[in-house]
Structure 1
Amino acid sequence: MSELGIPFEEKLVPFGQGPMGNAFRSFSPSGRVPCLHDGDAVVWDSLAIVEYLAEDHPAVWPSHRVARAWARSASAEMHSGFAALRTQCGMICGIRMRLHEIGAPLKADIDRIGELWSEGLDRFGGPFLAGDTFTAVDAFFAPVAFRVQTYGLVLPGPAAAYARRLLALPSMRRWYDASLQESWREEKYEQETLRYGELTEDFRTA
């Protein structure tokens, strides 16, 4: 929504405000985020949010049918997969980590991301995954670009360059800068992150 200029108001609720499920259940039926409120409509899943937005904003998905099908498939794969990456490389933007090891499941996830990104860039000409404009598939992989930066994940040349392009987008810079200003910590996730690697740098506010 930020990258495509779709107006919205963001309301931030920290994980630490009470038990996670109960804190988010006040505005999200599933107790999870993100959750979109649009008048009487409440849409509480990222893939459902994207499809809801696409009904009024066609630029959310690629205009070409084949590119759109590929983008939807790749988005769905990200939405439901990459369990090892999610577990071992938590989404903490403002730190840098050196992983203790990259086992087979995590390596398979990293290899698949490199393969998928390289395929999209080659097939549709870039600089984004499904063509020359930012679409929903790029939004779905935006958190992976932050993980590449945080954990120093190694990708093939075209995929690594794509991650750098995502991180340089104005909307991504705003997201990153905002993350550095968050003063709260969720100890559970901080400790989980340290299980898998060594903290080398922390750029977050104290």
Structure 2
Amino acid sequence: MQMFASFLVSSLVCSAPALADELYPAAPPKDSAFVRVIQASSEVTSSPAKVGDQSLGKVEFGDITSYVVVPGGSHDASLGAVSSTLEFSAGEFYTVVASGSALTLIQDPRSTSLAKANIYLYNLTDQPSAKLTTGDGKVEVITGVAGGAQGDRAVNALTTDLAVWLGETRIATFPAVSLERSRAYSAVITAAPDGPKAVWVTNSTR
């Protein structure tokens, strides 16, 4: 019995690194950059996206992909027939926006607090000002985001309704959004023939 117990303990100790590898994904290399894609062209139904040698799958209008990890430096980025060579600095986060026949690069702020939830608002329209408020419109969370720009804010963890606006026009309401500590979220407004659209996503990396 004692020999069996010793064998069992030895087996568990030897297999611990393998178990850890399965439970916890390997950290990305130190020179990595993190890149995602937003399809902001309403005339495009679905297009394959790629950054460097990383495929992000097919992306439809209004879609926001997860971040993928690429080495810092210059990489070819493409979404369907639209392509460009872009520069990514190691340790930074980026969003590549496809609109019309061009790719635009936005550098995303890194999360500043693990004790709070981080929210990012993207105004991918030609309207001069977008904002994010509580659902009743009484509390402004992020304001004054110009067309083609991004704004952000760290907030306390809570569950609340949120709304996005262009000027004084409400574009969308997101009910009962759960904002968790150390997580990041994005609200994206895009222009469409039948009026602006907005989506809400939880940021992720794959």
Q: Shorter-normalised TM-score: what interval?
A: under 0.3
If each structure's helix is expressed as a fraction of its own residues, which one has the higher value? 1
Taking structure 2 as the reference length, what is the TM-score of the superposition?
0.28
Rg larger for? 2
TM-score (norm 1): 0.28
